[in-house]
Structure 1
Amino acid sequence: MSKPVPAKFVFSHPVHFLSFGFGSGLAPKAPGTFGTLAAIPLYLLVAELSLAYYLLTCALVSLVGIYFCHHTANRLKVHDHPGIVWDEIAGFLITMIGFAATWQNLLIGFVLFRIFDILKPWPIKWIDKHVSGGFGIMLDDLIAGGFAWCCLYGVNHLWL
């Protein structure tokens, strides 16, 4: 278990603040869950964009996330500190691609993403263990978001 990061560190630099999901990664328990919760307002801000602009937003969030996570992890000297949750934000945005911003989609998408992020089925767990740097921190959550998207697609077409 990584030691807690002081709020002073998180708020000392904009990249750390963003890496820690606007401060949500400071949660003493389940920072990934709080980071995913922090993604919901961002999702609601971009949910009505055209699909092309939404995908561009996902790409930008993911690409800058590689830098954010790499920079903060290096400063902390911890590969993937649990408080670094920008990857959860990006993963949740991937989960929600093309879905209406209904409470049902938000709830199901949130639960599905957290399940894949926590359980890390293959190849997510392998990537988490073998791909390093900011790219590795981001990639496992982006794939978890893709898995969650597939399941949410199924739910939408079968039940909603």
Structure 2
Amino acid sequence: MTTPNANTSTKSEAPKVAAHDFWPCLWMLLGVLGVFPLFAAYGYNRYELHGVFSAATAATVVLLGMEAALVLTILFRDSDFKIPSVLLGTFFRTGIPLVFGMLMHTAGGPLAEAGLFGMILVYYLLTLAVETVLAVQLVSQTSIFKKAA
């Protein structure tokens, strides 16, 4: 009579992430930095130095949310949770900038008076298109490779 070996468990492979997997994050950073001079110029013309600080704060907050969503998509793109990871990324992509913007607008101060919430909304709309394209490419790229293999 043979008994099954209790110690024969299959090892589940952890997702392998390489440095080149984070190219979409670099593209997002370059996109935000590319339009920053326009926001800074607008802010300076309307609100002087506080407007430049508002533009920098808006860029940072929106970039943080977008990068968090992209990293989540990158980490789970080879698993069964690739579509839910994109949907969960919406929480970071939308939640971080909007909650921060509302809190800063409610608190008031020179950045709020310099149009921080409006800059966050415009940055968000501009980067949303780029981030959506990058996330769809990440998810569909792995699906094509798995079907071919």
Smaller-chain TM-score range?
0.3 to 0.5
How does the TM-score come out when normalised to structure 2? 0.34
More helix by share: 2
